[in-house]
Amino acid sequence: MKRALSIIRIGLFAFMTMLVFNPDPGLCASSHRKANKRQSIRKAKSSSRTHSRVVKRTGGRKTVVLSVVSPPDESLSLNNQALLLYAQGKYAEAEPLYRRALAIRKKRLGAEHPLVATSLNNLALLLDAQGKYAAAEPLSRRALVIDEKALGAGHLDVATDVNNLAALLQAQGKYAEAEPLYRRSLAIREKQLGGDHSDVAQSMNNLASLLQDKGKYAEAEPLYRRSLAIREKLMGNEHPDVAQGLNNLASLLKTQGKYAEAEPLYRRSLAIREKQLGADNALVATSLNNLAELLQAQGKYTEAEPLYRRSLAIREKLFGTDHPQVATSLNNFAGLLQAQGKYAEAEPLYRHSLAINKKALGVNHPSVAMSLNNLAGLLQALGRSAEAQPLYRRALSIDEKVLGNEHSQTITIRNNFNELNKKLK
């Protein structure tokens, strides 16, 4: 029996950031982050995992904090400038600003101050977004140590740090290490805040997302449903956080092939976001992408296409043409065209997505590996296996180095590469 190749589709996990402890009166902001890629089996589907995940810390995964230091100093301005650049996908420009803010805070406040932990956390988030996990992890761990020492092991801000570290480990496929951290963060929040708090709902959501990644769907579903119920109770039925919960639960149902149950949840999530956030919001683009992916999985290509196009148009309008989220839309739209056999139309979109990811994220980022894998799959479908082989090889090299040999994306690419090599023998 012929084995299907896998294409990797970019899924959007929106992580909501939680604020790290700020001992001075200040202003904190939360942000949403794109999260993870997920594989899906093709003859040629671009994989995207679509649920939002909240990490009150982060963006998906870590926490970005707009903090006000009293008295105001250069580190605050640098931190906030870096946050803006990060939101625009200008990671290379943001990094030196975060590093300068961190250096200033260390000098002014000492290496063990919670605001130093905040800067470490923000820098770790930025490095994570660039796929520099080896550099990000020790910063995240250091932030946790500082806050545990300064605030105590049961402090809510420690729960945030633990959550952020768990999300970073999850991104690397280190699920066994991440799970007890998510559970610890949830336990702290339940103890300090009670069972019906929004932060408890976030922790349940994050733990559910990890269990979903591990294929433990029966354990993940009640957590998603409980998280959603808490949000509906606290915030009403039309709050953006409720939309996020609906999106995440729909993602789990879709993963299990329960398309009829998932579709109304995705549609309701989209409707809430359009009403509350406006038609051209980034999260509306995410919902459009996710609903389009579900329709594509059901073979409803004509319904999916305008949604992908609208999602792409929103992102280009908001972020410009060289942002990683634009690359996501191009990749996923190319996957739809490929699924319809429109290879000539799909190829330039895959190549454009790859170029954006290389420019924005660097040549060794897992998203670059994903783009290489997907382009290679298209070339293979076109009978251009000699062109596809070095792309698979390069993609596999990136993911083995960055994600490790046992990460799901690494395994997907390795399987694709091995299948091609068998055919070429």
The bridge status of strand 32-33 relative to strand 37-41 is unpaired
| Both tokens assigned to 394 | 């390069």
Q: Among 4, 6, 10, which residue's Cα sits nearest to residue 354? A: 10
This prediction has a pTM of 0.83
What topology is assigned to 6-424 in CATH? 1.25.40
Instruction: Specify the pLDDT at position 54.
Output: 30
Q: Give the torsion sign (CA, 256, 260, 303, 299).
A: positive
CA dihedral 263, 268, 273, 279 (to 10 degrees): 70
In whole angstroms, what separates CA 192 from the centre of its chain? Answer: 28
Instruction: Specify the pLDDT at position 88.
Output: 85
Instruction: Specify the pLDDT at position 367.
Output: 94
Neighbours of 281 (CB within 10 A): 16
Mean pLDDT by 10 residues, the chain (425 residues): 50 36 26 28 29 33 43 83 90 95 96 96 92 94 98 96 95 93 98 97 97 95 98 97 97 97 98 97 96 97 98 95 94 97 98 95 93 97 96 97 92 96 90
